[in-house]
């Protein structure tokens, strides 16, 4: 579980509050990047972290400079192949936050939409420690994959949506 692997300084300092909110997303993004295979290989095989620079030429062929700027802000981009559908490449556009809210869900959805415009099958994904009620209801409503404290929710709906586009 991600929560159990926090660095000690992130766990034990009293009154960490805002500091934790500031540093936790950076820690979690790095954790997910370093351990992408461990976190996502249960649904995807051949899991790889993708740098925006690796797909820059493709993005420039389909998107405006403003849209590319939006894509460069995605926290983490992962691709792999569906376990049952070998030839189907699936991408995850992941937004990381200490507390996932409606804005994070909307941002993940918007950035995934831009990547779909390029031709990728993308699942909008949010990751964090906590989640607001609004964030949870919007993620469920819009089929956004949620990774929260080791729990994973809405995968089947998010995958079905990605495959239908």
155 exposed, middle or buried (CB, 10 Å; 0-12, 13-18, 19+)? middle
Show the domain range for 107.
2-164
Residue 160 pLDDT: 94
Give me the CATH number covering residue 73.
3.40.1340
Q: Provide the edge-to-edge strand list for the sheet that holds 89-100.
A: 44-49, 76-82, 89-100, 122-131, 145-148, 151-153
Given a cut of 50, is residue 10 above it in pLDDT? no
**Number of C-beta neighbours around residue 110 at 10 A:** 16
| Residues 72-130: tens digit of each pLDDT | 999 999 999 988 877 799 999 999 998 999 999 999 999 999 999 999 999 999 999 89
The domain total for the chain is 1
Residue 30 pLDDT: 83
């Amino acid at each position: 579980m991600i929560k159990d692997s926090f660095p000690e300084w992130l766990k034990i300092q009293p009154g960490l509050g805002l500091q934790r909110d500031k540093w936790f997303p950076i820690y979690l993004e790095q954790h997910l990047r370093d351990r992408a295979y461990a976190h996502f290989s249960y649904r995807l095989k051949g899991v790889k972290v993708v740098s925006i620079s690796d797909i820059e030429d493709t993005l420039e062929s389909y998107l405006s400079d403003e849209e590319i700027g939006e894509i460069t802000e995605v926290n983490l981009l992962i691709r792999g192949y569906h376990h049952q559908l070998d030839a189907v490449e699936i991408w995850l556009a992941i937004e990381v936050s200490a507390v996932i809210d409606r804005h994070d869900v909307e941002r993940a959805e918007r950035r995934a939409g831009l990547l779909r415009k390029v031709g990728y099958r993308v699942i909008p994904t949010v990751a964090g420690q906590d989640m607001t009620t609004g964030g949870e209801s919007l993620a469920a409503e819009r089929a956004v994959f949620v990774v929260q404290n080791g729990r994973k929710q809405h995968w089947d709906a998010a995958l079905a949506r990605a495959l239908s586009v």
